[in-house]
Amino acid sequence: MSFPWARQYEPKNGLTKFLDEKLPLPRLVYGAIGAGYPVPRNLSYMWNFGVLAGFCLVLQIVTGVVLAMHYAPNALVAFGTTEHIMRDVNWGWMMRYAHANGASFFFIVVYLHIFRGFFYSSYKAPREMIWLLGVVIFLLMMATAFMGYVLPWGQMSFWGAKVITGLFGAIPIVGEPIQVWLLGGFAPDNAALNRFFSLHFLLPFVIAGVVILHIWALHIPGSSNPTGVEIKTEADTVPFHPYYTAKDGFGLGIFLLLFCTMVFFLPNYLGHPDNYIEANPLSTPAHIVPEWYFWPFYAILRAFTVDFFFVPAKLMGVLAMFAAILVWFFLPWLDKSPVRSGHYRPLFRKFFWFGLIPTMAVLFYCGGAPAEEPFVMLSQLATAYYFLHFLVILPLVSSIEKPEPLPYSITEAVLGSDKKAVLGENTTPAV
């Protein structure tokens, strides 16, 4: 692991010497996020979002544990205890608004983190495992957020749970029994609410575990960087502390500024008014929409309106929605270009900015819109392009594209020249 020039931890006083012998935790921290971890000197702000995602996870766990002290997962009182948190519990409103908006900010940060990965092909060798674990984290996050949204037991909670578990009903033969089994009843009720609470409490800790694996896997090759050229010498790196602790700290400040603006001035902007009405199994709200971070996938789900040979439309939608995320697992092998960074890939770059990004924007918009024309047709076109992009365009582009010349090293990219390169030590630009 790591580079030969990485600084070694040296315990200075009696206490740290004692600890280093018995339980070398300070050594671990020093090597993982301290001065003992050499990082490319040219990381941009796009590399801030991993640390920010970690911060969000801690934020959700802290506020979540506090909320759980006042909340009761019983269908008779759940809605009431949520209002009790808002009105009676000291600072309860702040904890709840921070948790609800924290989930949204968590997704904003992780989406940026993922799209950083798309643009800089961070998923390519030797970082495949980091990427695969990342997709697992994302799936776990979606499950956690979905179950958390059910807990306040408002109208959107209830109908969201009903519609999403209804997706399983689309599976032939076993679908309905699975749905009943998941809910512990024939419709969402106390049994479902209780198990969702239990799992919503558990899953963030599972995520924390996978994040540890994610970072472990990251520390084997180390971070990539905006050029995509791998580290060659010590000159290409700076120690994580103080350089990136400072940069990440600055990013965290900006993040908190935006976050606090939402929590204190627009706390319900991202929510639905319908969720302030208690769940009513006999009346459906006029317009059921999931939380904004599910919109692109919800649009894909609803894009299938006609049967596809012998596969019913409803099942097609469900399969496509899951496939839209599962396809990410195959990215390291679909994109075969040896060049990582989009900055040196003229064709890839065009498809990224004018293909993938607008497609995601359209899917995002359509997922939140009512299921009417023109939104249905738009989501159909966007869904088609989405899969085309990953399954056809990426492999094709990587085989026909002529990449632009890469800098010899990170140092050359930053300083304009690299002494080692001038000396002609190794002039073939390694990727």
Partner 1 sequence: MADTTGTATPETLAVHGEDGVRRRDFINIAAVSFAGVGAVAVVLPLVSQMAPSADVLAESSTEIDVGSIEAGQAIKAVFRKQPLFVRRLTPAEISQADKVDASSLRDPQTLAERTKEGHLDMLVTMGVCTHLGCVPLGAAEGENRGEFGGYFCPCHGSHYDTAARIRKGPAPTNLVVPDYEFTSDTVIRVG
Q: Is the dihedral of CA 356, 357, 361, 367 positive or negative?
A: positive
Q: Which helix (H) or strand (E) holds 38?
A: strand 38-40
d(CA 422, CA 413): 14
Whether 122 is a known active-site residue: answer: no
What are the E-state strand segments in 206-279?
237-239
Task: Give the residue with the Cβ less far from partner 1, 163 or 210.
Answer: 163
Residue 296 burial class via C-beta count within 10 angstroms: exposed 0-12, middle 13-18, buried 19 and up: buried
Told to check if 187 binds partner 1 by CB under 8 A, we report: yes
Least CB distance from residue 185 to partner 1, whole Å? 5
Whether 248 is a known active-site residue: answer: yes
Whether 287 is a known active-site residue: answer: no
Told to check if 42 binds ligand HEM by CB under 6 A, we report: no
The span from the first CA to the last CA of the chain, in angstroms, equals 20
Whether 247 is a known active-site residue: answer: yes
Whether 219 is a known active-site residue: answer: yes
Query: x/- contact string, 104-143, with ligand HEM (CB under 6 A)?
Result: ------x--xx--x----xx---x--xx--xx-xx-----
Chain residues 195-254 in contact with ligand HEM, contact rule CB under 6 A: 207, 211, 214-215, 218, 223-224
Told to check if 209 binds partner 1 by CB under 8 A, we report: no
Least CB distance from residue 217 to ligand HEM, whole Å? 9
- Compute the radius of gyration of the chain from its Cα atoms: 24
Give every CB contact of residue 188 below 8 A, 6+ residues apart in sequence: 150, 158, 161, 162, 165, 279, 281
| Active-site entry in 247, 272, 389, 420 | 247
Least CB distance from residue 385 to partner 1, whole Å? 22
Q: For residues 73 and 80, is the Cβ–Cβ distance under 8 A?
A: no
The structure tokens listed for 371 are 């299921």
Phi, psi of 353 (to 5 degrees): -75, -35
The dihedral region occupied by 213, where left means phi > 0, alpha psi between -120 and 50, and beta the remainder, is alpha
d(CA 360, CA 147): 24
Query: x/- contact string, 251-280, with partner 1 (CB under 8 A)?
Result: ------------------------------
Give every CB contact of residue 197 below 8 A, 6+ residues apart in sequence: 71, 73, 147, 151
Residue 233's alpha-carbon distances to 39, 76, 126, 245, 425, in angstroms, are 11, 64, 18, 22, 12
| Active-site entry in 291, 335, 412, 418 | 291
70 known ligand binder = no
Told to check if 50 binds ligand HEM by CB under 6 A, we report: yes
User: Which alpha helices (DSSP H) does 9-48 contain, by range?
Assistant: 14-22, 25-33
Amino acid at site 32? A
219 known ligand binder = yes
| Active-site entry in 223, 224, 379, 409 | 223
Least CB distance from residue 407 to ligand HEM, whole Å? 17
Which residues line the annotated binding site for heme b?
A: 99, 113, 200, 214
Binding site for partner 1 (CB under 8 A): 159, 162-163, 166-167, 169, 180-182, 184-187, 189, 191, 195, 281-284, 286-288, 302, 305, 312-314, 371-372
Which residues line the annotated binding site?
A: 99, 113, 200, 214, 219
Binding site for ligand HEM (CB under 6 A): 47, 49-51, 53-54, 57, 110, 113-114, 117, 122-123, 127, 130-131, 134-135, 137-138, 207, 211, 214-215, 218, 223-224
Catalytic residues, which ones?
Answer: 219, 223, 247-248, 291
Which residues line the annotated binding site for a ubiquinone?
A: 219
